[in-house]
Amino acid sequence: MSKKSGPTYGIDAAPLPALLGAAGLAAAVGGVRRRSARLGLVSAALLSMTGIYLHTTLRGKFRVWERELDRLGLRGDEQLLDMGCGRGAVLIAAAQHLPSGRAVGIDLWTVDQSGNSPQATLANAAKAGVADRVEVRTGDLSSLPFADQSFDVVTAAAAIHNLRSPGLRLRAVDEAMRVLRPGGQLLIADPWPFNRRYASHLGQGTVHRLGPSYWYGVPLLAVTSLHVTKAN
């Protein structure tokens, strides 16, 4: 009997670790051929960055999001929106916290995440046993197709910073707050400069670092968390 496979979430911005790894191997070969210690150090640095990046995208971020979702103190009956849900890593983790609630994901299904599609996300939800409380929509994060105050929780995992301009990013943050009910919680994971700008724009929120498990290769690309509770 074959073993039932679990959800598969792909690799974030897959060409980047591929390029880092290829450059690291090329530097290693060059270092051996030229007997260059400098190229050896460059190779070690690039391959270390590749390993850290892959750890984050394949394991680390999942552990971080489990911890962050636990910190929200969910009752289990909330309506949650995950902005830029991709193949559903956070969407499905959230749905597992909502036995009597609902988790809605929205995305434009670009190639930023390998194998990204609504079908892949719904297949992952089925494999995780939460298909009955997961929904996916196609839409723009800067113009959400939802009514005001539709959700108790809004999440966004390294998605808003991908919008092509600062103005669109701030519009997406405003949209997140618009669809959030009074007393609801917003949780955004993005690199520190972006989250700092979102918090400044909103005039509220707490930004904290999420640790090495959410580094995309180097500390400079460390992901932070912005947590906002909407006023009643």
Percent with pLDDT over 70 in the chain: 97
3: in domain: no
127: in domain: yes
113 and 38 housed in the same domain:
no
DSSP letter assigned to residue 57: I
State the CATH number of the domain containing residue 197. Answer: 3.40.50.150
Residue 119's Cβ-side half-sphere holds a number of Cα atoms within 13 Å equal to 1
77 and 38 housed in the same domain:
no
How many independent structural domains does the chain possess? 2
pLDDT recorded at residue 2: 41
The tens digit of pLDDT for each residue in 117-165 reads: 999 999 999 999 999 999 999 999 999 999 999 999 999 999 999 999 9
Mark 87-97 as b/e (b = at least 16 C-beta within 10 Å).
Answer: bbbbbbbbbeb
The secondary element (H helix, E strand) that includes residue 50 is: helix 37-55
Residue 138's Cβ-side half-sphere holds a number of Cα atoms within 13 Å equal to 7
pLDDT recorded at residue 229: 98
pLDDT recorded at residue 111: 64
The tens digit of pLDDT for each residue in 64-115 reads: 999 999 999 999 999 999 999 999 999 999 999 999 999 999 999 876 666 7
35 and 68 housed in the same domain:
no
Percent with pLDDT over 90 in the chain: 85
